């Protein structure tokens, strides 16, 4: 069982509720003799904290555990930074849905105490790498825990592109774009676009067309080790964008190539022992918990 002695804290900026949880965390952890390191931007939210301050990268080098306070978006950002360091991440939900940040502020200390005593379950989630090339030269790079999305940006025109999987031509398509999602991202943007819900343990990627011009276009689930290549059509009148978890964008041009593969590093997520994926779906997606009376 891991010994969590050096604990990093990352919080979403600009939220009064996050500040409340940050102060509660700091008080609880320091009172119980844990060494607490606060992320440099987060530290500005609680002046006079008296804690060690570090960048996200340094947190990955010196911490045994990182606690993220915020919504799923906050955890996505931390995960991309911390994946290479293989540091376990625990989420405290101060957002809306909370598929990844599953500790409630109302019982924060009780839940956290059990985790720190070794009562937790751990799972790993893979990320995607995306490389954009122009005329054979690298143009940009990004990584994503949820999804890599080709989209029109501010334009309202359709995008023409070719799809290849493991070097095999799949189709040419005109649509508003394509969502390439991990199982983690299958309950995010992909779900809104009609993609399937995928269990987090699956080693698979789903490709979901966005408003395709042909009604026969449907989501495709492929092996997680597949290489996905998108070629932007030369005749496009629009300059689309590629986004990574909706938090980073690369502007593309006709003829550009986007290559998407699985990242070699996985993130380690920590959950309370009663965590259950299907229960989370029932709670967050409003699934019925019993058969309605006739």
pLDDT, tens digit, 9 for 90 and up, residues 161-209: 999 999 999 999 999 999 999 999 999 999 999 999 999 999 999 999 9
More confident residue, 290 or 257: 257
In the block, tokens 């990352």 appear at: 10
Check: CB of residue 114 under 8 Å from CB of residue 129.
no
Encoded tokens for 204: 């698979």
Query: What is the phi/psi pair of residue 40, to 5°?
Result: -60, -45
195 with 227, same domain: the answer is yes
12 with 108, same domain: the answer is yes
pLDDT, position 160:
95
147-151 and 241-244: which strand pairing? antiparallel
Residue-number span of the structural domain to which 108 is assigned: 4-118+272-283
Given 64, 72, 102, 162, which residue is catalytic? 72
pLDDT, position 163:
98
> What share of the chain in percent tops pLDDT 70?
98
Buried b (16+ CB within 10 A) or exposed e, 269-281: bbbbeeeebeebe
In the block, tokens 């005593």 appear at: 117
More confident residue, 98 or 121: 121
Q: Rounded mean pLDDT of 41-48?
A: 94
Measure the CA–CA gap between 260 and 129, rounded to whole angstroms.
Answer: 6
pLDDT, position 2:
56
Q: How many domains does the chain have?
A: 2
144 with 235, same domain: the answer is yes
- 1, pLDDT greater than 50: no
pLDDT, position 291:
74
154 with 258, same domain: the answer is yes
Q: Is 239 helix (H, G, I), strand (E, B) or coil?
A: coil
Q: Rounded mean pLDDT of 52-78?
A: 94
Q: Answer yes or no: is 293 within a domain.
A: no
Q: Which residues are annotated as a binding site for NAD(+)?
A: 72-73, 146-147, 157, 174, 176, 187-192, 247
257-271 and 121-134: which strand pairing? antiparallel
CA 76 vs CA 73, 79, 236: distances in Å: 5, 5, 32
- 38, pLDDT greater than 90: yes
Q: Rounded mean pLDDT of 80-98?
A: 89
Q: Of 18-32, 148-162, 185-199, 279-293, which gets the smallest average pLDDT?
A: 279-293
Q: Which residues are annotated as a binding site?
A: 72-73, 146-147, 157, 174, 176, 187-192, 247
Give the chain's mean pLDDT.
93
Q: Answer yes or no: is 232 within a domain.
A: yes
164 with 46, same domain: the answer is no
- What CATH number does residue 216 fall under? 2.60.200.30
Confirm whether 72 is a catalytic residue: yes
Closest CA to 275 of 145, 101, 85, 40: 101
170 with 249, same domain: the answer is yes
Buried b (16+ CB within 10 A) or exposed e, 10-31: bbbeebeebbebbebbbebbee
Helical packing angle, 108-116 and 16-31, nearest 10°: 40
pLDDT, position 293:
57
207 with 245, same domain: the answer is yes
- Span 218-239, pLDDT tens digits: 999 999 999 999 999 998 888 9
139 with 240, same domain: the answer is yes
Does this model's pTM top 0.95? My answer is: no
């Amino acid at each position: 069982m891991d010994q969590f002695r050096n604990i990093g804290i990352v919080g979403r900026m600009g939220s009064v509720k996050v500040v409340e949880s940050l102060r509660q965390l700091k008080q609880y952890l320091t009172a119980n003799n844990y060494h607490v390191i606060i992320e440099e931007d987060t530290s500005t939210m609680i002046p006079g904290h008296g804690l060690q301050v570090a960048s996200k990268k340094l947190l990955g080098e010196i911490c045994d555990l990182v606690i993220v306070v915020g919504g799923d978006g906050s955890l996505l950002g931390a995960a991309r930074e911390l994946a290479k360091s293989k540091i376990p991440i625990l989420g405290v939900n101060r957002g809306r849905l909370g598929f990844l940040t599953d500790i409630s502020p109302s019982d924060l200390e009780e839940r956290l105490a059990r985790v720190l005593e070794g009562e937790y379950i751990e799972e790993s989630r893979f990320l995607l790498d995306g490389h954009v090339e122009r005329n054979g030269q690298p143009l940009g790079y990004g990584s994503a825990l949820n999804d890599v999305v080709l989209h029109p940006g501010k334009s309202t025109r359709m995008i023409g592109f070719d799809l290849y999987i493991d070097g095999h031509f799949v189709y040419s398509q005109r649509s508003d774009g394509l969502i390439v999602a991990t199982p983690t991202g299958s309950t995010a943007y992909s779900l809104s676009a009609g993609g399937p819900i995928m269990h987090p343990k699956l080693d698979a990627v789903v490709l979901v067309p966005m408003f395709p011009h042909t009604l026969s276009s449907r989501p495709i689930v492929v092996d997680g080790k597949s290489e996905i290549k998108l070629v932007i059509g030369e005749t496009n009148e629009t300059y689309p964008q590629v986004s990574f978890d909706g938090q980073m964008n690369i502007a593309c041009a006709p003829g550009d190539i986007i290559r998407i593969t699985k990242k070699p590093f996985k993130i380690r997520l920590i959950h309370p022992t009663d965590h259950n994926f299907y229960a989370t779906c029932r709670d967050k997606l409003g699934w019925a918990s019993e058969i309605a009376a006739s």
